[in-house]
Structure formats: structure tokens, C-alpha cells
Amino acid sequence: MHVEGRKRVVIENVKPEIDCGRFPIKRIAGERVEVTADIFADGHDTISAKLLYRCSGNNAWEEVPMNFIENDRWKGTFIVKELGIYHYTLKAWINQYHTWQKMLRKKLDAGQDITADLLMGIDLLVRTAKRASENDRIRLREFIHSLKESNREKACAVAISDELTELMDTYQDTEFATTYGKELQVIVDREKALFSTWYERFPRSCATEPGRHGTFKDCEKILPEIARMGFDVFYLPPIHPIGKTHRKGKNNSPVCERDDAGSPWAIGSKEGGHKSIHPQLGTFEDFGHLIKTAKGYGIEIALDLAFQCSPDHPFVTEHPEWFRWRPDGTIQYAENPPKKYEDIVPLHFETEHWNDLWEELKGIIIFWIEKGIRIFRVDNPHTKPFQFWEWLIKESKNKYPDVIFLAEAFTRPKVMYYLAKLGFTQSYTYFTWRNTKREFIDYLTELTQTEVKEFFRPNFWPNTPDILPEHLQYGGRPAFMSRLVLAATLSSNYGMYGPPFELCINEALPGKEEYLNAEKYEIKQWEWDTPGNLKDPISRVNRLRKENPALQSTSNVRFYEVDNDYLLFYGKATEDLSNIILVVVNLDPFHTQSGWVKVPLSELGIDLNQPYLVHDLLSDDKYIWQGESNYVELNPHLLPAHILKVRKRLKREADFDYFM
Amino acid sequence: MHVEGRKRVVIENVKPEIDCGRFPIKRIAGERVEVTADIFADGHDTISAKLLYRCSGNNAWEEVPMNFIENDRWKGTFIVKELGIYHYTLKAWINQYHTWQKMLRKKLDAGQDITADLLMGIDLLVRTAKRASENDRIRLREFIHSLKESNREKACAVAISDELTELMDTYQDTEFATTYGKELQVIVDREKALFSTWYERFPRSCATEPGRHGTFKDCEKILPEIARMGFDVFYLPPIHPIGKTHRKGKNNSPVCERDDAGSPWAIGSKEGGHKSIHPQLGTFEDFGHLIKTAKGYGIEIALDLAFQCSPDHPFVTEHPEWFRWRPDGTIQYAENPPKKYEDIVPLHFETEHWNDLWEELKGIIIFWIEKGIRIFRVDNPHTKPFQFWEWLIKESKNKYPDVIFLAEAFTRPKVMYYLAKLGFTQSYTYFTWRNTKREFIDYLTELTQTEVKEFFRPNFWPNTPDILPEHLQYGGRPAFMSRLVLAATLSSNYGMYGPPFELCINEALPGKEEYLNAEKYEIKQWEWDTPGNLKDPISRVNRLRKENPALQSTSNVRFYEVDNDYLLFYGKATEDLSNIILVVVNLDPFHTQSGWVKVPLSELGIDLNQPYLVHDLLSDDKYIWQGESNYVELNPHLLPAHILKVRKRLKREADFDYFM
């Protein structure tokens, strides 16, 4: 019948656990994993439970006790230290000695006879002694003697003494322990997976002289300024040779002029494919030099991973079996009628030779990893099979656990979440299209207060080369400022496509969310120091992100009340409340908005009866507030936001030496 | 590497699915199972999905299509017909022909060339024809011919024609279909699992002459009245021999007088154990006769299953290994200090001989099943191991799928739910202690609007021999009336312990929720027709439950607004809205309460502009209402509740023959 009918404890409703344990949760090294579970047994016996965890390299489990919270819920925590994969599971059993102690105490309180009970206790000690080390066995035998020889009062004191309890806990009988059937996983990434500040810029547009094709050397020249602005990831759109067949002209025109540069996403020409560099950008040596120089500035170079080809890509002739051929003998290009992307041919993942294709694509990643790249922004992952990504990311991180993959999937919500579950380290989000207070609160609540926070790390982008959202088109500089503050303070990972962002470029194709004269199809020379540019505020915002640990995670965001729907009020704090940031953003780019914010004093550990100082890290203004309700007023043409650092206690007369 | 990299569809977030498929959901025969899931693939191809189900006896799956709802959510349904266990799972794949049709339509709309596309379509037909039956192959070849020979317009019309689409759907390529990894289960019970009306009564107190021990024959005599009151389950506390050692006296006294009858839950004496009948109740023949006679009245006899013994139970001498013996040689009796239950010794489920013990206990159930019993009320299941119940119920229902187990577990919420997951058909609830409007709404919402509804079937009891809740102690007859209406209309399964309930007995032990002079410890003769008794209202309520299908399930309850916190307003309707019941209960047993109820007209399909009739099935009063807001006033001393049947449309002049 049953293997063992005496396992009486149940472990269920374990959290975090994604899709019944099918997917790992994510943490960075040094973060805590807090595991909760419902643990209970029949009857009223006392339970002991442990949380077991191990790093993939170790076969031995480490154990920490689970503690009872309430309503049969238990909690245990551990810290992940090494990059890679951790496993965790649970174990629980009836603690016979504690059960016996509980009964003993109750009988003592009721003044009942405990003669038989003491004998039962002694019996437990005898059995435990058999499992104990020699020294502990001797000690247990002393306790047995003491229980037998003492009077009732003394025996009870011995029985519930800390020393004996601890000894009995050390050698518990776990023969009938229940183990949780599953081993759950944690992917442990490096810190940048959680806290990163991205700057995207086309290297070919980095030349300082008009008309010249930019190079990696030009990129190096702007590194000091990128560093001054506070970015730590410099992400380059594809750097590979660009196809000529059906090359797109300016503004995505199907007609290409002679000197048109083409889209860098039309990868591959007779000069090479995904493992080659577009000759006009420079050599592999130049590229290596750029990586090294950037590192000196605390900046990592991120590459674009776009698994698609131009019709001129070497794959097309070398591996025709990796493409879809139409019955008329032509190659299937990318299309979404009425749109045609004839400069791009998708890889055909349903090919019988998918196995070879997967290996080749993995080879591309390993190639660039070995060139020193550890961050990839993955283009359109939602148009390639899910299984492929899961395999690819696992394979890559197995050997290089420090690699970061950012999923550029602007698609349906469940697909975006699924890609994150499969292994993407960070993800693009719908932040780009969130406008109103309600929308921000709902979306951020979904990202940070539900299971989503365990596997999906948002990366907020106010713009991309493909997307100039409507609020930036009509809201002018105030809209750019407020998006900067929102992206940088709501999410610990954020990025921008520059220089159009910091230059507040807002000319779009009519009726679309696309840039007019998009850089995707032409080389630009940017006037980076145009008056009114946002470089200084960006520097300031990025510096305050670095200086305030509260802003270095996302799921700690909480929204608070303010009596004006144009004002968004939220806060972030470190767990120990040593760093508290409150943010108020005016979402109206045109008018001054004011209102009364309600500061959650007790949540933030602020004394209701003491004034406290809030220091606006954006304007450097300081305000003395008291109590929950405080007045704010934001003129978007001056500064559309407060980023307030809270100093809980103001100096008072009693703080001076001469007081008293 | 991968077994198959071309499976592109994902199936996740399947509902209902209890604890990752560890536990079955519950239905009664004829009920629908509605399954939803997130189903999606990479890219933009069209998906087909099917719900597969089978009865345990069948190896072959039946298939029904899943339909797209929104946001990647799909839905499919099937009906369970046979008692026992059903299995269900899912399957989904890329529908190549629909994907192709979608592309074709888009290109046509865009006025693009479709020459190559038509060739691709023909290619799909050619490949499909190979999988088709001979007749269909011929038809497909005709279509191929037609696509080749027709002009563009005609060919497109053929390509998207219903006939061809249906043919292509019949022979889809499912080689790379994704199957959901789990087979989920449904336990299918008979109707009484969902809709039952229980009457509990001690057979030994059924004699009509004072001082005589009641018998099964006496029970037969009251069957007509139990039937008139509308009950369909007559549940008897344990009918086995009662122990003499440490027998409890009246009011649970440790001192037993000579003629004290003892608690029927102290099972076993030298006259036998769980397979014997207490001699004073009658013979097995009498018992069989009672079952048969009851059946004639539409009443089933339910037995109490209390797996515990008196110290005189034959097990104690025959199987001392099934009990816990203390080091002083005495048997461990039940205790929860300061309380001692020396008349009861628990079975020791941690015995090494647990295997034999389980088999013996299963034998007890099979014994009574074979005597004609199909309903068991299980005493204190939460003090026996969970694994035992899961095994026991599965084993019993395997052979007798019509058996019903009611869990009498008044314990912590997670334990109660877990027992239901393990297989208990119905469960006692916290209804007994719910008093205020907020409490009712919260509790019923948890039971009926969450996953709980899939596995936990509530059975509402206003009182039991052990529990006389405080509101009944002080609220008088109005409290009994309102609890009757609440239990009977909130839950499709409910029961009462009579005659104390219908006689409104409310004398408790001081400061406790226990009956004074509890019937558990003594034989009673009830004056069943005492003036003011509730037998008529009970009959009426039970009759209207039978006549109104809306009241025959629990999870259809919905709470509506009423502007008085002493009034609880809720409704139940059949799915087709052909039967609608609205209930208003005055929770204040002392004062008349009135207020404006807000009837959710559109939800109930009632015309906003037409008056409608509500017929109070309790008082037989009728009211004509119009619009959402209507006035109610309830004097608890007359009737503390309305049970209103809604007639949606009143007759109007246009309904008469002579109109027009």
C-alpha cells in the first residue's frame, strides 16, 4: 500500500515558487531569499521545519530553521553568495520532545499528576542518546539520571531547561520527516542585473566632423561625457556589416540612395555576418580597445543580439536550409502586410536542421563573450522559439554566469513574462506607454507586489530608436524631465536612447510614434551641447541613484496618497530604513500642480511628533515637514519633480553641547 | 541537446488545477468543467488548442476545442457524466493553414501580389492530402486543382471557403504539438454531494415513552415527520456499544451514575466495537429495516465514523499494538490538559503496525457500506494522519464512487481545506461562528469566489450536539429563524441537530458554547410539538430549496448592496437566469431593521424600465418592484428574512388577447 504511513507533516503553498517549480526565481549575489510555506500536521503536536539550500557546485545541503509566523505559515531565509544557480527545498517533522514538553507544562499548570509523563520523557532521552555523539550521550545520561532522581519540581525544571532542549533538538528523530518534493531554483546574477543605467547610441553617428562615418575610436572620445552623465552601460546597436540588397533608405524608404547607410539590423554582407564588424566602424582591435577604455570609466559595452539576416548574409548561401524558401524559389523576407521588410530575412527555426542553427547562434554569443562582452540586448526575442532561448541562456550562463541578457520584447504581457521566466535577466516594459497616475500605480504594483517580481526585472526606457512616445512628442522639455525622473526612480534598471533624449528631440513621423529622419536609417551628427539639453539633470539623477541604495532596487517602491491626480507620489527605502527617498512627479507637462502629500510616517519610522527634513536632491532645496500631510507645488517648466531624501530627525536645542 | 526544438506553443496557468495537479477538483455528475489556460507561441502564427478528457475507465481521450478569449487566455468545457474519476489535459499547436489564410487576407487587403503565397497554400494542401482519408484526399485534390486553375479572386475565395478550412482543420499537422505535461483529475460525485439537507438526531432519544431507551424502530416512527420537514439525510451519532470504563456522567461529569448512558463516541465494550450495534438500539435486521423504510421517504441514513475507542473496545485486548502504552503500563487516554477524556483511548497511528490498523479501519467502512450505508460523517478527521484519509477515501470510492464523506473538522483553516483536498466530499465550516454582515461576505467570498470552491463543499450547521453558539443562546427564536434561513440559502448543503434546533433550546453551560444537560451524555425525551417550534418554517424552507434549482448549489451566491449593516442581501440564480432567488436577512434578532436594497438588474437580466414581481416564499407575500433600489423592512419577531423568487416580467395590457 503506502511506502510510509507515518509521515504526518504537510508542506504546501511554498513561496516563491514559479509555475510549480518549473522556473527559477532571480536574485543578485548577496540578496536574501525569503521562503514561506504552509506547514502543519494532524493533531496538536509541535512541528520543526528546516529550509535547505545549496549552490549548484555543492552536493551538500545547508540548513536553516523555519520559524512559525501565524495561521500555519512558516518562514526561513538564506543569502545567495555565489553567481550561478542555487537550489532550495524544505523538510519538516514532528518534534517529539517539544510536543512532550508542551504537554508537561499544561499538566503542571493544571496541577495534574505527571509521574507517567516523566517516564515518557526519560524514554525519549534514552532513545535520543542512542543517536548522540559520545560526549552528548554522556551528558544525556546525566540528564536521565537527574530526571529519575529529582523531585517533581526539579525534574520539570531540568526537562524544560535550555541545555537539555538544545541537546534534544540536535538529535531529533527525523525518520518520518516530510521532504518537500521539489527542488526549487534561484538564478544568482551579479549586481548589475538589478541596478544598471544604460545609454544607447549609434557608434556610426559618433563622429565629430559632419559627413564622416563614426568609428569605435570616436566612441572612445565620448566616453568621458557618458561617464560624467552617470551611465554604466553603453549599448551599441548592431556593429556588423550591413546588407546591400533591398537596403532601406532614409525614413524607412524602400528606395535607397547611393550613400544611404542602411539599418544596422539588416545584418550581414559579403564582408561577414554576426561574427564580423562593419569595416567602417573599425577593427576588432579597436573594439577591444573601446571595451578596455570604457571599463576604465566604469562603463560596460553592451551589444545587440539580433538573430536575423540581410539577404546578403553569408548564411544564406552557406546554410540555405536555415531559411524559408517560397515555392517560386525566392527567399522569405520579413513581412507583416502591408509592411514589407525586404532588407531582412528571418531565420527559419522550424527547419529540420534547427539543431545546427541553434548551435551556430550559441557560437555567436560565445564568440562575443570571448571578445569581452558580458551584456546583450536581445532584439525581438518573442519572434524566436521559447525553447531556443531557454536553452541558449542556460548554456551561456552555465559557463559565464555573469552574462546579462536584456529582452527587447515589446509584445503581449504573458509573452513578456514568459521570456523572463525562461531566463532573460532584464526586460523592456510597458513603462514607455504609461501616462496617468492610475496607470503607473497599477503597472508598478503588478511588477513589484506580485510573483512577477521574482522573475521579471524591469528596465525602463522613455524612448528607443524605434519609439518616440506621444507624451514626449507634445510635452516638450518638461515631459522629458519627468520621464527621466520616473524611469530613474521607479526602476533600478533604466536606459535612454541618446542623444535624442537629452536633446529633447520630439519630431515624429505624422501620426506615428516613430522618429522623423530616424537614425536607424541614416548617419547623424549630433549637436550634443545644444542649450536646454538635459545632460546636467541626467548627471544629477544618475549620481543620486548611485548615492542612495534605496533607489538601487525596484520592488521596494510604494505609492502614497496625494490629493491631486496629476501628482504621483511614491517612496523607496532600504530595509533598515537608513535610506529613504520620496518622489513627487508632476505628470502634467504644461501646468503647475500642487497638493497635499500624505507621508506614511509609521511605515518609514518617522516620529509623528517631531519635524523632519526633506532634502530635494534635484533642486538642492530643503524643506522642514511635520506630520503626515505636507504641501507640494511643482512647476513643470522649472522642475517637474521632487526627489526628496528624508532625514528623520532635525537637530534640536537638546542636541547642543551646552544644553543641560 | 533538446528532444524536439520545434514545439513552439506554450500552455501554462491552467485552471482549475489544485496545487500543481496534486489534488483533484470536484464535480457532481452532469456538471460542467470549464478549463482555461494561457496558450501562446512566439511570433504571430495562429494557434489551435484542444481540451482532452476521459473517464477513468476509458483509455481514449475525447477532445473538445479550446476557444480564444482574450490576452492569450483560452477556454474549453466538458461535462462529467459518470461517477468516479475523470482526467483532463491540454494540447496546442500552430495551425499552419489558418496562419497562411491570415497572411493571405492581409496581403489581399493591402493589394499585394499573392502568386507565391498561393503556391505555398497549394503546398500545404498537398501535404495535408497525404494524411487524409481516401474521400477527403480526392476532395483536397479537387481543391488543389481549383487553386491552380482559378484566377486570383476565385482562388482566394476557395482558399478561405468554409469547406476547405474545415477539411484542413480535420487533418492538421500536430507533429510538433505541445501537450500539457500533467493529467488533472476530477472526482465526480452523485448529486447529494452538492445538495443535501441533514437532520442529526440521537436514536436512543427517539422513544415516545419517558425513560425508555430509544430503538431503530422508534427512529422509523419519526421518519414521516423528518420527511415532512424536508430532510433527505438522517444522520445518527455512533450506534455502537458504549464503553463502561471511565464512562462519563451527565454534563460530562467524570462521575457516572448507575443509569447513565455514556457518550456514544466512547465506542466499544465487551458487546463489540465498530462493527457492532449497541444492543439497546436493536438488531442488524432492525437497522436494515430502518435504512429501507427511510429510503421509502427519500431519506438516507448517515453514520458517524469515529475512529477512537473506549478502554473496553475489543481492539484494546486483541490489538494492544494499535494503542499507546505509557511506561507505567497504563493505556494513553485522550487528554488536552486540563481536560481529560478517560472514557476514550485514541488509536496510535504512529504504531509500527499502522499498516494493519489502516486495513482494519478500511474494513469497518466497507462493512457498513455493505450494510447499505453510503454517507459517513467523519468525527475529528484532523486528529488522524492526512495520508490515512487520502488512502482510505480513495480506496473506498474506487469501489463505491457513490460514498459521501463529511469531514467534521472544526480546526484551523488550512487543515480544513487540506482534508477537503485529500478527498472529503463535504466539510463542516466556520458558518457556525459567523455573525456580522462583513464576516458572512468575507467568508462566503473565500468559499465561493476562490480556488477553494473547486475542492471544498461547505455544509452549514447552525448547531451540533457539541456547539450551541452564542447568538443562539441570547437571540431567541428570531436567531434560530435567521440561522435557518442563512444556512439553508447560503449553502446548498446544510444540516441541524434536532430536536434542540427546532425547539429553540438555548440553555448553555455558563460561559461556554455547550448545551446544558447535553444529550451526548444522557437519554432525552423531546416534546417535539412544543408551541413555537420551527418545524413548519423548516418544512417551508426545505421545500423551497427543492423547488428552486438556484438554491441547489453554493458557489453561485453573490452579495449585493443594502444600506443597513444589519441587513444581509444576496442572491442565487441558475446559469440561464430561469430561476432567481434574492434573500434579505435581518441579522439583528431584537429590532426591526429596514433599508434600501440594490438589485443588480442587468446581472439578473431584469429590464430596468419594467416592474417585476418578487414573491416571498417564506411569508407568501408578493411585492411589485421597479428599478434597482427597493425598500425592505424586517421585524425579526415576525419573520427575520425574505426569500424572494423573482418573476422578471409582469403581465401588462399588451398581454391580453383583446389588446390590439
- Which residues in B241-362 belong to E strands, given as ranges? 300-305, 308-309, 334-336, 339-341, 345-346
What would the mean pLDDT of B556-578 be, rounded to a whole number? 97
Q: What angle do CA A395, A398, A404 make, to 5 degrees?
A: 85
Q: Could you tell me which chain A residue has the CA closest to the CA of B382?
A: A42
Rounded distance between C-alpha atoms, residue A594 and residue A566, angstroms:
9
B179, B173, B229, B164: which is closest to B200 by C-alpha? B229
From residue B328, alpha-carbon distances to A140, A147, B135, B325, B351 in Å are 22, 16, 86, 8, 18
Rounded distance between C-alpha atoms, residue B195 and residue B491, angstroms:
9
pLDDT of residue A659: 63
B110 interaction partners in chain A (CB closer than 8 Å)? 337-338
What would the mean pLDDT of B597-618 be, rounded to a whole number? 94
What is the grid cell recorded at B234? 438522517
Asked whether the predicted pLDDT for residue A618 surpasses 90, the reply is yes
Q: Mind listing the pLDDT tens digit for each residue in A123-179? A: 999 999 999 999 999 999 999 999 998 888 899 999 999 999 999 999 999 999 999
Q: What is the per-residue burial (b if ≥16 Cβ within 10 Å, else e) of A528-562?
A: eeeeebbbebbbbbbebbeebbbbbbbbbbbbbeb
B116 interaction partners in chain A (CB closer than 8 Å)? 326-328, 330
Residue type present at position A634: L
Q: Tell me how crowded residue B415 is: count the other CB atoms within 10 A of its CB.
A: 21
What would the mean pLDDT of A235-262 be, rounded to a whole number? 95
Contact B110 A338 (CB under 8 A): yes
Rounded distance between C-alpha atoms, residue A612 and residue A625, angstroms:
5
pLDDT of residue A564: 98
pLDDT of residue B347: 98
What would the mean pLDDT of B255-259 be, rounded to a whole number? 91
Q: A442 phi and psi, to 5 degrees? A: -60, -45
Among A482-496, A607-621, B646-660, top mean pLDDT goes to A482-496
Contact A559/A552 with Cβ under 8 angstroms?
Answer: no
Rounded distance between C-alpha atoms, residue A6 and residue A3, angstroms:
9
Q: What is the per-residue burial (b if ≥16 Cβ within 10 Å, else e) of A345-355?
A: bbbbbebeebe
Report whether the peptide linkage leading into residue B499 is cis, meaning its omega lies within 30 degrees of zero: yes
Contact B415 A336 (CB under 8 A): no
Which position has the grid cell 553567481? A83
Q: Which of B387, B394, B455 to mutate to test the interface with A (most CBs of A within 10 A)?
A: B387
Residues of A designated catalytic: 379, 408
Asked whether the predicted pLDDT for residue A530 surpasses 80, the reply is yes
- For the CA atoms of A596, A597, A601, A604, the dihedral, rounded to the nearest 10 degrees, stands at -160
A126 interaction partners in chain B (CB closer than 8 Å)? none
Q: Mind listing the pLDDT tens digit for each residue in A367-399? A: 999 999 999 999 999 999 999 999 999 999 999
pLDDT of residue A211: 86
What would the mean pLDDT of B178-197 be, rounded to a whole number? 98
Out of B5, B38, B103, name the one closest to residue A385 (CB): B5
pLDDT of residue A424: 98
Asked whether the predicted pLDDT for residue A653 surpasses 80, the reply is no
Rounded distance between C-alpha atoms, residue B455 and residue B414, angstroms:
13
Q: Mind listing the pLDDT tens digit for each residue in B278-296? A: 999 999 999 999 999 999 9
Rounded distance between C-alpha atoms, residue B176 and residue A475, angstroms:
49
Q: Mind listing the pLDDT tens digit for each residue in B198-209? A: 999 999 999 988
DSSP string across B131-198: HS-HHHHHHHHHHHHHHHHS-HHHHHHHHT-HHHHHHHHHT---TT-EE-S--EEEEEE-GGGTSEEE
Contact A387 B7 (CB under 8 A): yes
Asked whether the predicted pLDDT for residue A648 surpasses 90, the reply is no
Residue type present at position A98: H
pLDDT of residue B3: 79
pTM of the model: 0.96
Rounded distance between C-alpha atoms, residue A368 and residue B339, angstroms:
74
A418 interaction partners in chain B (CB closer than 8 Å)? 10, 12, 40
Contact B382 A43 (CB under 8 A): yes
Confidence label for B1 from pLDDT (cuts 50, 70 and 90): low
B17, B300, B408, B502: which one is catalytic? B408
B379, B519, B522, B588: which one is catalytic? B379
Rounded distance between C-alpha atoms, residue B624 and residue B602, angstroms:
18
H or E element at residue B115: helix B115-131
Q: Mind listing the pLDDT tens digit for each residue in B572-587? A: 999 999 999 999 999 9
Among A105-114, B151-160, B463-472, top mean pLDDT goes to B463-472
Tell me, yes or no, if B408 is annotated catalytic. yes
pLDDT of residue A150: 85
How many residues are there in chain B? 660
How far is the alpha carbon of A372 from chain B, nearest alpha carbon, in Å?
26
B103 interaction partners in chain A (CB closer than 8 Å)? 337
B583, B570, B648: which is closest to B619 by C-alpha? B583
Rounded distance between C-alpha atoms, residue A605 and residue B471, angstroms:
42
Q: Mind listing the pLDDT tens digit for each residue in B8-52? A: 999 999 999 999 999 999 999 999 999 999 999 999 999 999 999
Q: Mind listing the pLDDT tens digit for each residue in A70-88? A: 999 999 999 999 999 999 9
Q: Which of A387, A396, A408, A416 to mutate to test the interface with B (most CBs of B within 10 A)?
A: A387
Parallel, antiparallel, or unpaired for β B178-179 and A9-15? Answer: unpaired
Tell me, yes or no, if B259 is annotated catalytic. no
How many residues are there in chain A? 660
A313, A438, A300: which is closest to A371 by C-alpha? A300
Q: Could you tell me which chain A residue has the CA closest to the CA of B112?
A: A338
Asked whether the predicted pLDDT for residue A311 surpasses 90, the reply is yes
A177 interaction partners in chain B (CB closer than 8 Å)? none
What would the mean pLDDT of B158-167 be, rounded to a whole number? 96
B257, B271, B368, B260: which is closest to B314 by C-alpha? B271
Contact A40 B383 (CB under 8 A): no
Rounded distance between C-alpha atoms, residue A243 and residue B152, angstroms:
34
Q: Could you tell me which chain B residue has the CA closest to the CA of A350?
A: B6
pLDDT of residue A652: 73
What would the mean pLDDT of B444-464 be, rounded to a whole number? 98
What would the mean pLDDT of B623-631 be, rounded to a whole number? 95
What is the grid cell recorded at B458? 461547505
Contact A116 B327 (CB under 8 A): yes
Out of A38, A43, A413, name the one closest to residue B71 (CB): A413
Helical pair B134-149 and B162-170, crossing angle rounded to 10 deg: 130
Out of A10, A330, A350, name the one closest to residue B386 (CB): A10
Asked whether the predicted pLDDT for residue B659 surpasses 90, the reply is no
Out of A40, A106, A119, name the one closest to residue B337 (CB): A106
DSSP string across B411-453: S-HHHHHHHHHHT-SEE--GGGG--SHHHHHHHHHHHHSSGGG
B40 interaction partners in chain A (CB closer than 8 Å)? 412, 414-415, 418
Asked whether the predicted pLDDT for residue B657 surpasses 80, the reply is no
Out of A7, A8, A72, name the one closest to residue B414 (CB): A72
